[in-house]
Amino acid sequence: MMNVLIIGTGKLGYEVYRRVAVMPECHVTLLDHHRHDHDVSLATQLIGDATSVEDLKRALVGIDVVFSTVGITQAETFATALVQAMDEVGVKRLLWTTQFQINADQISEAMYDLANREFGFSREVETNYVAGQKAGAAVIKASDLAYTLLECHFFKYTDEADKLIVESAENAVSGGPLSIFSLATLIADMVLHNQDYPQRELMISARPKASI
Cα angle: 205, vertex 196, 150; to 5 degrees: 30
What is residue 212's predicted lDDT score, i.e. its pLDDT?
Answer: 52
The pTM of the full predicted model, rounded to 2 decimals, is 0.94
Cα–Cα nearest to 3, from 34, 46, 39 = 46
Cα–Cα nearest to 65, from 188, 200, 202 = 188
Q: What is the 3-state secondary structure (H, E, C) of the chain?
A: CEEEEEECCCHHHHHHHHHHCCCCCEEEEEEECCCCCCCCCCEEEEECCCCCHHHHHHHHCCCCEEEECCCCCCHHHHHHHHHHHHHHHCCCEEEEEEECCCCCCCCCHHHHHHHHHHHCCCHHHHHHHHHHHHHHHHHHHCCCCEEEEEEECCEECCCCCCCEEEEECCCCCCCECEEHHHHHHHHHHHHHCHHHCCCCEEEEEECCHHHC
Rounded Cα distance between 95 and 195, Å, is: 12
β-bridge partners, 46: 31
What is residue 100's predicted lDDT score, i.e. its pLDDT?
Answer: 95
Strands 26-32 and 43-47: parallel
Average pLDDT value over all residues in the chain: 94
Q: What are phi and psi of 161, to 5 degrees?
A: -90, 120
Higher pLDDT, 34 or 198: 198
Q: Which amino acid appears at position 9 of this protein?
A: T
133-190 confidence digits (pLDDT tens): 999 999 999 999 999 999 999 999 888 999 999 999 988 899 999 999 999 999 999 9
77-120 confidence digits (pLDDT tens): 999 999 999 999 999 999 999 999 999 999 999 999 989 998 89
β-bridge partners, 168: 202
What is residue 38's predicted lDDT score, i.e. its pLDDT?
Answer: 85
Maximum Cα interatomic distance, the chain, rounded to a whole number of Å: 49
pLDDT at 192 over 60: yes
Rounded Cα distance between 36 and 159, Å, is: 20
What is residue 170's predicted lDDT score, i.e. its pLDDT?
Answer: 87
